[in-house]
Structure 1
């Protein structure tokens, strides 16, 4: 998962400034047409101005971006700032309504089909008050600060800005607390059922005695040699003072609020639809994370079909292994046999690195254009690891969770590594940033259905690449696919059909070989993050369907590398746009193949 954070968390990273005063910081490439129309110019002016404003306000990092914006402050996330932000996006939508769409270039019609839903989702999240629930059982505004510490710092000014952000933590946390109080007052909160123990990541900082032991101090341990030694020590002292004087006390305030107010007052229901305005909120979450207008019942039915299909393939592997016992017996064998588990965190990291290097030797046979960017593999920070998923990938980094090794089976590791690093998230994200002919809102944005759909598709692609060395690893691939199919059933079951937490846990446990720890943390994630889990399978189904269409239409002329390049050069797009673009690729490929054949047979 790159995942990306819930809409409320994404919104919390923005500060409002008057859009009319925000001049574009950069100029995106003009539409690729011989003659740029007035409509093209109008549209470009709209998105450049809004995007520049949006980026100037970024003040914190998350696992998707590895970027803090290098501001000297964290965002203004107060209610008044949120209202002002909504006015900006509503004005942008009004301006888009006035565009003559038919006068836009073909490239800009595609850009508009991607940009407008992006702004609509941002506006809807504020309108629905998603910022009043700025965390879930998986991700949070406070844990995101640890990713800020991974932002590149090149000179003394970068460190001074970083220290200023650290000193701003109390104000930022207090605004988030005010927002959460508003949510509690109207019954809009994370369910109480998934909050037990979630304060551990807050307490880990609040109870620190030594500021240099904080994850947030890590940038000071290795500073650029270009900064003189005496200045380095001054900067370190500034960092220590900020962590001791502002950060640790702010975490203490947050911890007291979480334990004394939030948990006691959190709602006792599970379903998103049970909250005030919940049906509208859940449907908007579906729209944002899937880019499709599907109902919960339609998604639930798709999930059941996929579960049945994958279950049959799992049974085939069990027969191949000549295992004596039931499906449940086989899952218990996988969950408990020591041969399937690393004995040390380093062993798990080493194995992931070995898999990634084997992928390096094969990926060029399946993807024509590879990115210049590279990624590293690092363990998930200890303060957030207990409730994180097995791994997460982004541009430049594949985070591998080494917490609780008996819950991290090696048979799942090839699928996880393919998904999170290459050719999954790290490769896709790096390529997206290198599409210089696309506007920044496409290059530097993440649409979950596309990104997660591609990453899940690469798990299947790994079988063609020869990455799965044993039937157990192939079963691990299927258990990961089953995991994503179960999400369609569980997410809609919980938030629309009234499923209990125990019912959801039992469903995931009975259908996959995920460990008990993973089963519980994943279900809690779906409970507290409605809709996000739907993006993976629906995106992957779309890509698989489009590849089948291309293979059928092109026959012997189908080129796997050209197909993958066509998917990856899109940057980050909605599924309807991806379908239209790949069908255009199929038509163009067919035309080119016919032209080549005609030329070859010409006298």
Structure 2
């Protein structure tokens, strides 16, 4: 899962720099559009485009407090300013950038730069749209919070990283003050997060208001490793503890009081995006951002209904294969309540996830020619966010699995979750991107949800040919996940276009999947507070399945899934229309090549 279509300006403000870096690293970075060969002359259009995106990128890094460290763009030692004047200035700048981009003739660009131009345009359009809609006046949702993730999941090994962390934390009180002021502005014009979708999210702040060992920041500074030599290690620990107690605890306490006493009581009681100012137009802008196509919500709703019906038939076939003789509803209840399907400890759940990940390792060579060297680890979701966090999330360095409320974490869903989040899903994508040939820097930070999450869902399906699902129950878990994404098309558009109630959406998802009730509620609240994002998964998946079917049809017995997959991943994160055109170019080249 990702935060926005592009991990750029809007995302930077949705989350603090630490999570932005973690999410950036967790997403696929592009690698196919090759740079011109040494000595090749670039056209005037190519040079103009490069100058434009390089200039915008340098400006962006300064705006959002990032610097290049060990070859990767990461959070610097300060936090960005998020005041209204900053957003107005940014919106004006992006208007100028888009005007300059419009002046460049795409027909005069080289193939590599044509892809770069399409990616750059979609990235800037999304950021410009978010700035002009003033989404920064509601800077969190039920899934992601601007106040979380400043605390690193694992201790830094180097002194410089601790110094940068201290710098960001010094800026945190002022950053929170700006966010509070922005939320006040949103409330005044009726632009807020729906109250029903964020009940209880304020509790994620509570650990950070503590002054004892239960404060996650204090635990972090107590865990500075020996790789930071003394006496600097002790100095950092004491400096960090003093900063936490004197500045961070008061800042989190002030924010918590604001949310509970001012914000939550005044948030809107409606749930549809259409109920926001100019809400129908806003919802369509969100569809364009996350799907990277102009699609009518009613068209998407119809696609969802058809796919739900198709997957329902497959689920009943698997239920019969499992030998269950009751009704579908009884089968769902059996899956949700039988102890055989649930881990008895956090370690057991993590061990099962690790087993699946290692089993995948043995199959990767049959599905890919190019394998990354970088390795990920498997860790639990941090305790402070686990109660409202999704089941799992994968990144470059780690796959996180939620061990909170184990009776809501069925093991039959775990194989599909592992292949999606770890390998050959997001961690695999991110590692390949890290080792990819050099590309423009802005391409290394751009994330299109349709591409990235579409690939994640595609890998769940790919697991059927990799021998990942060992029992009918695990195959049913895979179909539950596929149904979950297809049902999103119905639910998201139902909520924001057709006026569905929250309970109507919960009942629809619960009746069509074996997801635990906890996950069902968490997911529906996410769709309510994050309109459009949930549409990207299945529409991206469908695009990839359609392209594979086209390649198989066109190439016949010459089709080999390994170069097909390599092409998709080497291309990197791009809008879906670009994915289609580039994969079709691959198919044409394969078709024209002499038979081996």
Tell me which of 81, 91, 115 is aligned to 1:86.
Answer: 91
For residue 199 of structure 2, what is the aligned residue in structure 1? 196
Cα distance, 1:541 vs. partner? Answer: 0.1
User: What is the CA distance between 1:55 and its match in structure 2?
Assistant: 2.9
Per-residue deviation, 1:4: 5.0
In structure 1, the residue matched to 2:166 is: 163
Contact 1:14 1:58 in 2 (8 A): no
C-alpha separation in 1, matches of 2:329 and 2:180: 44
Partner of 1:40: 46
- Within a 5 Å distance, the mapping from 1:509-520 to structure 2 comes to 509-520=510-521
Matches within 5 A, 1:391-410: 391-410=392-411
Q: Which has the higher contact order (CA 8 A, sep 6+)?
A: 2
Give 1:5 shift: 8.2
Residues 567, 582 of structure 1: 8 Å contact kept = yes
Distance 2:158 2:201 in 1: 34
* TM-score in terms of structure 2 length: 0.93
TM-score by length of 1: 0.92
Contact residue 302 and residue 488 of structure 1 kept, 8 A:
yes
Number of aligned residue pairs: 574
Q: What is the rounded CA distance, in whole Å, between the counterparts of 2:284 and 2:433 in structure 1? A: 28
Higher mean C-alpha displacement, 190-199 vs 515-524:
190-199
Superposed displacement of residue 60, structure 1: 8.5
**Taking structure 1 as reference, are residues 245 and 283 closer, same or farther at Cα in structure 2, changes over 3 Å only?**
same
SS in 1 for 2:399: strand
Answering whether residue 374 of structure 2 is matched by residue 373 of structure 1, we say: yes
What is residue 20 of structure 1 aligned with on the other side?
Answer: none
User: Structure 1 residues 49 and 68 mapped into 2: Cα distance closer, same or farther (>3 Å)?
Assistant: closer
In structure 1, distance between residues paired with 2:16 and 2:104:
26
C-alpha distance in 1, partners of 2:60/2:379?
A: 30
Residues in 1 aligned to 2:10 and 2:263: alpha-carbon distance in whole angstroms: 17
Instruction: Please state if 1:54 is matched with 2:56.
Output: no
Aligned CA distance change for structure 1 residues 150 and 371 (closer, same or farther; 3 Å): same
Shift, 1:38, TM fit: 1.6
Whole-angstrom distance in 1 between the partners of 2:532 and 2:296: 11
Specify every segment of 5 or more residues in structure 2 that has no aligned partner in the other structure, as ranges.
Answer: 18-30
Alpha-carbon distance, 1:568 to partner? 0.5
**What does the per-residue CA deviation read over 1:307-346, in whole Å, with 9 as the maximum and x for residues that have no partner?**
0000000000111122121110000000000000000011
Task: Give the direction of change, closer, same or farther, for the CA distance of 1:3–1:561 in structure 2 (3 Å limit).
Answer: farther
Summarize the alignment of residues 51-130 of structure 1 with structure 2, pairs less than 5 Å apart: 51-59=57-65, 69-130=74-135
**How big is the shift at 1:48?**
1.2
Q: Report the Cα offset of residue 385 of structure 1.
A: 0.7
- Residue-by-residue CA offset, 1:509-544 (whole Å, 9 max, x unaligned): 000000000000110010011111001000000000
**Would you say the 8 A contact 1:303–1:489 is kept in 2?**
yes
- SS at 1:377's partner residue? strand
Residue 132, structure 1, aligned to residue 137, structure 2: yes
CA–CA separation in structure 2 for the residues paired with 1:418 and 1:133: 33
SS of equivalent residue, structure 2 residue 150: helix
- CA RMSD, Structure 1 to Structure 2 (Å): 2.1
CA contact (8 A) 1:55 1:69 kept: no
Once the two structures are TM-superposed, the CA of residue 403 in structure 1 deviates from its matched residue by 0.4
Deviation at 1:176, TM superposition (A): 0.5
Cα deviations by residue, 1:209-267 (Å, 9 ceiling, x for unpaired): 22x54333455344354533111111111110111111111110111110011111100
